[in-house]
Amino acid sequence: MRSLLILISLCLTVPAFARTSGGSSGGGLVGGFDGSWSFELYGGIVNATQDALNQIHDTANTREGGITTSALTQAYEGAVGFTYRYSGSVYALSLRPSYFYERQDGHAASGSFTYGVTGYTIFPMLRAYPLENDVMKFYMQVGVGYGQAKGMVNEGLLSGTDRHVEFGSGAFGSMVGLGAEFVLTGVQSVAVEVDYRYLDYVRNVVSSSTGTGFGTGSLSQSGKGQEAELDGNDLDIKMGGLMFNLGYILHF
Protein backbone atom coordinates (compact mmCIF):
# COMPACT_ATOMS: atom_id res chain seq x y z
CA MET A 1 0.00 0.00 0.00
CA ARG A 2 2.87 2.39 0.76
CA SER A 3 4.29 1.79 -2.76
CA LEU A 4 0.88 2.57 -4.24
CA LEU A 5 0.62 5.87 -2.36
CA ILE A 6 4.16 6.86 -3.32
CA LEU A 7 3.55 6.27 -7.03
CA ILE A 8 0.21 8.08 -6.92
CA SER A 9 2.02 11.07 -5.43
CA LEU A 10 4.71 10.93 -8.12
CA CYS A 11 2.14 10.75 -10.90
CA LEU A 12 0.25 13.74 -9.53
CA THR A 13 3.35 15.87 -9.05
CA VAL A 14 4.96 15.30 -12.46
CA PRO A 15 5.49 18.79 -13.90
CA ALA A 16 2.83 19.71 -16.40
CA PHE A 17 5.41 21.83 -18.20
CA ALA A 18 7.36 18.83 -19.61
CA ARG A 19 9.66 19.94 -22.39
CA THR A 20 8.07 20.23 -25.80
CA SER A 21 9.29 20.01 -29.34
CA GLY A 22 7.85 22.42 -31.84
CA GLY A 23 8.22 19.92 -34.67
CA SER A 24 6.16 17.20 -32.93
CA SER A 25 2.65 16.46 -34.09
CA GLY A 26 -0.57 16.14 -32.08
CA GLY A 27 -0.18 19.07 -29.72
CA GLY A 28 3.55 19.60 -29.49
CA LEU A 29 4.79 17.16 -26.82
CA VAL A 30 7.98 15.29 -27.60
CA GLY A 31 7.13 12.01 -29.35
CA GLY A 32 4.00 13.43 -30.99
CA PHE A 33 1.53 11.00 -29.39
CA ASP A 34 -0.42 13.31 -27.07
CA GLY A 35 -4.09 13.92 -27.84
CA SER A 36 -4.39 10.46 -29.39
CA TRP A 37 -5.53 6.90 -28.74
CA SER A 38 -3.41 3.77 -28.71
CA PHE A 39 -4.13 0.05 -28.85
CA GLU A 40 -1.70 -2.16 -26.93
CA LEU A 41 -0.86 -5.87 -26.69
CA TYR A 42 1.13 -7.26 -23.75
CA GLY A 43 2.57 -10.60 -22.75
CA GLY A 44 4.62 -11.49 -19.73
CA ILE A 45 5.19 -13.46 -16.57
CA VAL A 46 3.94 -12.98 -13.01
CA ASN A 47 5.88 -14.19 -9.97
CA ALA A 48 2.74 -15.52 -8.27
CA THR A 49 3.69 -18.20 -5.73
CA GLN A 50 0.59 -20.09 -4.58
CA ASP A 51 1.47 -20.91 -0.98
CA ALA A 52 -1.78 -22.71 -0.12
CA LEU A 53 -1.86 -24.86 -3.24
CA ASN A 54 1.85 -25.61 -2.82
CA GLN A 55 1.11 -26.93 0.67
CA ILE A 56 -1.40 -29.33 -0.86
CA HIS A 57 1.22 -30.22 -3.49
CA ASP A 58 3.86 -30.89 -0.82
CA THR A 59 1.47 -33.08 1.18
CA ALA A 60 0.75 -35.17 -1.92
CA ASN A 61 4.46 -35.36 -2.72
CA THR A 62 5.18 -36.80 0.75
CA ARG A 63 2.19 -39.14 0.71
CA GLU A 64 2.98 -40.52 -2.74
CA GLY A 65 6.73 -40.78 -2.20
CA GLY A 66 7.26 -38.22 -4.96
CA ILE A 67 5.16 -36.63 -7.73
CA THR A 68 6.45 -35.13 -10.96
CA THR A 69 4.22 -32.04 -10.68
CA SER A 70 6.16 -28.83 -9.98
CA ALA A 71 5.16 -26.20 -7.42
CA LEU A 72 3.22 -23.13 -8.55
CA THR A 73 5.63 -20.18 -8.60
CA GLN A 74 5.16 -18.41 -11.95
CA ALA A 75 2.22 -17.53 -14.17
CA TYR A 76 1.76 -16.31 -17.72
CA GLU A 77 -0.42 -13.34 -18.58
CA GLY A 78 -1.67 -11.77 -21.77
CA ALA A 79 -3.39 -8.39 -21.94
CA VAL A 80 -4.81 -5.78 -24.28
CA GLY A 81 -4.86 -2.09 -23.51
CA PHE A 82 -6.68 1.03 -24.67
CA THR A 83 -4.99 4.31 -23.75
CA TYR A 84 -5.89 7.96 -24.31
CA ARG A 85 -3.13 10.59 -24.04
CA TYR A 86 -4.52 14.01 -23.12
CA SER A 87 -3.58 16.75 -25.54
CA GLY A 88 -0.89 19.09 -24.22
CA SER A 89 -0.47 16.99 -21.07
CA VAL A 90 1.93 14.39 -19.67
CA TYR A 91 -1.05 12.32 -18.45
CA ALA A 92 -2.96 9.45 -20.01
CA LEU A 93 -5.76 7.12 -18.97
CA SER A 94 -5.53 3.42 -19.78
CA LEU A 95 -7.88 0.44 -19.53
CA ARG A 96 -6.23 -2.99 -19.47
CA PRO A 97 -8.10 -6.33 -19.43
CA SER A 98 -5.89 -9.42 -18.99
CA TYR A 99 -5.97 -13.22 -18.77
CA PHE A 100 -3.93 -15.05 -16.11
CA TYR A 101 -2.76 -18.68 -16.45
CA GLU A 102 -0.81 -20.74 -13.92
CA ARG A 103 -0.88 -24.55 -13.99
CA GLN A 104 1.38 -27.51 -13.30
CA ASP A 105 0.68 -31.07 -14.46
CA GLY A 106 2.37 -34.30 -13.44
CA HIS A 107 1.79 -37.77 -12.12
CA ALA A 108 2.68 -40.32 -9.47
CA ALA A 109 1.95 -43.99 -8.83
CA SER A 110 -1.68 -43.17 -7.94
CA GLY A 111 -2.38 -41.21 -11.13
CA SER A 112 -2.24 -37.63 -12.38
CA PHE A 113 -1.69 -34.62 -10.12
CA THR A 114 -2.60 -31.14 -11.37
CA TYR A 115 -2.79 -27.78 -9.59
CA GLY A 116 -3.59 -24.41 -11.11
CA VAL A 117 -5.08 -20.92 -11.02
CA THR A 118 -6.65 -19.12 -13.98
CA GLY A 119 -8.65 -15.93 -14.27
CA TYR A 120 -9.04 -12.47 -15.70
CA THR A 121 -8.52 -8.89 -14.52
CA ILE A 122 -9.54 -5.45 -15.66
CA PHE A 123 -7.57 -2.43 -14.43
CA PRO A 124 -8.17 1.26 -15.24
CA MET A 125 -4.87 3.11 -14.77
CA LEU A 126 -3.51 6.63 -14.62
CA ARG A 127 -0.26 7.00 -16.55
CA ALA A 128 2.25 9.86 -16.51
CA TYR A 129 5.21 10.52 -18.88
CA PRO A 130 7.81 12.54 -16.92
CA LEU A 131 10.62 11.98 -19.47
CA GLU A 132 10.33 11.55 -23.22
CA ASN A 133 11.92 12.32 -26.55
CA ASP A 134 11.43 11.28 -30.17
CA VAL A 135 12.87 7.81 -29.52
CA MET A 136 11.88 6.81 -25.98
CA LYS A 137 9.16 7.68 -23.47
CA PHE A 138 9.50 6.75 -19.81
CA TYR A 139 6.21 6.37 -17.93
CA MET A 140 4.77 5.57 -14.51
CA GLN A 141 1.33 4.09 -13.94
CA VAL A 142 -1.01 3.28 -11.07
CA GLY A 143 -4.45 1.71 -10.98
CA VAL A 144 -7.18 0.00 -9.00
CA GLY A 145 -9.10 -2.85 -10.60
CA TYR A 146 -11.00 -6.12 -10.30
CA GLY A 147 -10.19 -9.75 -10.96
CA GLN A 148 -12.00 -13.08 -11.07
CA ALA A 149 -10.00 -16.22 -10.26
CA LYS A 150 -10.53 -19.98 -10.33
CA GLY A 151 -8.31 -22.49 -8.55
CA MET A 152 -8.13 -26.21 -9.23
CA VAL A 153 -6.82 -29.30 -7.44
CA ASN A 154 -6.84 -32.71 -9.14
CA GLU A 155 -5.26 -35.73 -7.49
CA GLY A 156 -5.76 -38.95 -9.41
CA LEU A 157 -6.58 -42.38 -8.04
CA LEU A 158 -5.96 -45.43 -10.20
CA SER A 159 -8.74 -47.24 -8.32
CA GLY A 160 -11.72 -44.97 -7.72
CA THR A 161 -12.84 -41.44 -8.59
CA ASP A 162 -10.22 -38.71 -8.96
CA ARG A 163 -10.25 -36.09 -6.22
CA HIS A 164 -11.07 -33.01 -8.28
CA VAL A 165 -12.09 -29.65 -6.81
CA GLU A 166 -12.60 -26.27 -8.48
CA PHE A 167 -13.14 -23.07 -6.50
CA GLY A 168 -12.93 -19.33 -6.99
CA SER A 169 -14.07 -15.80 -6.20
CA GLY A 170 -13.69 -12.16 -7.22
CA ALA A 171 -11.65 -9.42 -5.57
CA PHE A 172 -10.45 -5.85 -6.00
CA GLY A 173 -6.74 -5.06 -6.11
CA SER A 174 -4.16 -2.41 -6.96
CA MET A 175 -1.28 -2.13 -9.40
CA VAL A 176 1.77 0.13 -9.79
CA GLY A 177 4.48 0.08 -12.41
CA LEU A 178 7.21 1.65 -14.48
CA GLY A 179 7.73 1.33 -18.21
CA ALA A 180 9.61 2.55 -21.25
CA GLU A 181 8.12 2.92 -24.71
CA PHE A 182 10.50 2.78 -27.68
CA VAL A 183 9.30 4.34 -30.94
CA LEU A 184 9.68 2.16 -34.06
CA THR A 185 7.81 4.25 -36.61
CA GLY A 186 5.46 7.22 -36.58
CA VAL A 187 2.63 5.14 -35.12
CA GLN A 188 4.25 1.96 -33.76
CA SER A 189 6.19 1.35 -30.54
CA VAL A 190 7.35 -1.46 -28.30
CA ALA A 191 7.26 -1.27 -24.51
CA VAL A 192 9.03 -2.89 -21.58
CA GLU A 193 7.29 -2.81 -18.20
CA VAL A 194 7.92 -3.85 -14.60
CA ASP A 195 4.75 -3.80 -12.48
CA TYR A 196 3.61 -4.98 -9.09
CA ARG A 197 0.02 -6.08 -8.59
CA TYR A 198 -1.73 -6.87 -5.33
CA LEU A 199 -4.68 -9.18 -5.98
CA ASP A 200 -5.48 -11.89 -3.41
CA TYR A 201 -8.57 -14.11 -3.11
CA VAL A 202 -9.04 -15.21 0.49
CA ARG A 203 -12.49 -16.81 0.50
CA ASN A 204 -13.12 -19.11 -2.44
CA VAL A 205 -16.38 -20.96 -3.00
CA VAL A 206 -16.26 -24.52 -4.38
CA SER A 207 -18.02 -24.75 -7.76
CA SER A 208 -17.23 -28.40 -8.54
CA SER A 209 -16.18 -31.30 -6.33
CA THR A 210 -15.70 -35.03 -6.89
CA GLY A 211 -13.94 -37.63 -4.78
CA THR A 212 -13.05 -37.56 -1.09
CA GLY A 213 -10.14 -38.26 1.23
CA PHE A 214 -7.72 -35.36 0.89
CA GLY A 215 -6.79 -35.72 4.57
CA THR A 216 -4.46 -33.82 6.92
CA GLY A 217 -2.33 -31.12 5.32
CA SER A 218 -4.69 -30.87 2.37
CA LEU A 219 -8.25 -29.75 1.66
CA SER A 220 -10.32 -30.09 4.83
CA GLN A 221 -13.50 -28.64 3.30
CA SER A 222 -14.29 -29.05 -0.37
CA GLY A 223 -18.01 -29.68 -0.80
CA LYS A 224 -19.79 -27.90 -3.63
CA GLY A 225 -21.13 -24.54 -2.42
CA GLN A 226 -18.81 -24.47 0.61
CA GLU A 227 -15.77 -22.29 1.10
CA ALA A 228 -12.59 -24.19 0.24
CA GLU A 229 -10.50 -24.69 3.37
CA LEU A 230 -7.00 -25.95 4.10
CA ASP A 231 -6.70 -27.60 7.53
CA GLY A 232 -9.67 -25.60 8.77
CA ASN A 233 -8.47 -22.24 7.40
CA ASP A 234 -9.57 -20.31 4.30
CA LEU A 235 -7.69 -21.50 1.23
CA ASP A 236 -6.34 -18.41 -0.50
CA ILE A 237 -5.07 -18.00 -4.04
CA LYS A 238 -3.51 -14.99 -5.73
CA MET A 239 -3.11 -13.33 -9.11
CA GLY A 240 -0.60 -10.76 -7.94
CA GLY A 241 3.12 -10.33 -7.60
CA LEU A 242 6.01 -8.82 -9.54
CA MET A 243 5.22 -8.69 -13.26
CA PHE A 244 7.47 -8.39 -16.32
CA ASN A 245 5.75 -7.40 -19.57
CA LEU A 246 6.68 -6.83 -23.20
CA GLY A 247 4.24 -4.86 -25.31
CA TYR A 248 3.38 -3.70 -28.81
CA ILE A 249 1.66 -0.31 -29.15
CA LEU A 250 -0.22 1.08 -32.16
CA HIS A 251 -1.11 4.80 -32.04
CA PHE A 252 -4.01 6.19 -34.03
Q: Is pLDDT of 174 > 60? A: yes
Model pLDDT, residue 22: 35
Please report the DSSP string for 51-113 in residue order. HHHHHHHHHHHHHHT--SPPP---EEEEEEEEEEEPTTSSEEEEEEEEEEEEEEEEEETTEEE
**DSSP code at position 212:** -
At 186, the pLDDT band (50, 70, 90 cuts) reads confident
Mean pLDDT for 189-194 is 98
pLDDT score for 96: 98
Q: What share of the chain in percent tops pLDDT 70?
A: 83
Average pLDDT (191-207) is 97
**With contact defined as beta carbons under 8 Å apart, do 128 and 142 qualify?**
no
Please, what's the b/e burial string for 100-118 (b: 16 or more CB within 10 A of its CB; e: otherwise)? bebebebebebbbbbbbbb
Mean of the pLDDT values across residues 231-249? Answer: 96
Whole-model pTM: value is 0.85
CB 33 within 8 Å of CB 26: yes
What are the pLDDT digits (tens) for 71-85? 999 999 999 999 999
Give the pLDDT of residue 156. Answer: 82
pLDDT over 90 (residue 146): yes
Strand partners, 200: 238
Mean of pLDDT values over 40-60: 96
Residues 241, 49 contacting (CB under 8 angstroms): yes
User: How many Cα neighbours within 13 Å face the side chain of 31?
Assistant: 29
Mention every residue, 6+ apart, whose C-beta is less than 8 A from residue 173.
121, 144, 145, 146, 147, 197, 198, 199, 200, 239, 240
Question: What confidence score (pLDDT) does residue 45 get?
Answer: 98
| Stronger pLDDT, 162 or 127, i.e. the higher one | 127
Read off the pLDDT of each residue in 46-72 and give the average, rounded to a whole number.
95
CA distance 29 to 31: 6
The number of angstroms, rounded, from the C-alpha of 165 to the middle of its chain's C-alpha atoms is 23
pLDDT band at 158 (very low <50, low <70, confident <90, very high): low
- Answer whether residue 193 shows pLDDT above 90: yes
Tell me which fold the domain 2-14+36-251 belongs to: Porin (2.40.160)
Q: Give the tens place of pLDDT for each residue, 81-125.
A: 999 999 989 999 999 999 999 999 999 988 899 999 999 999 999
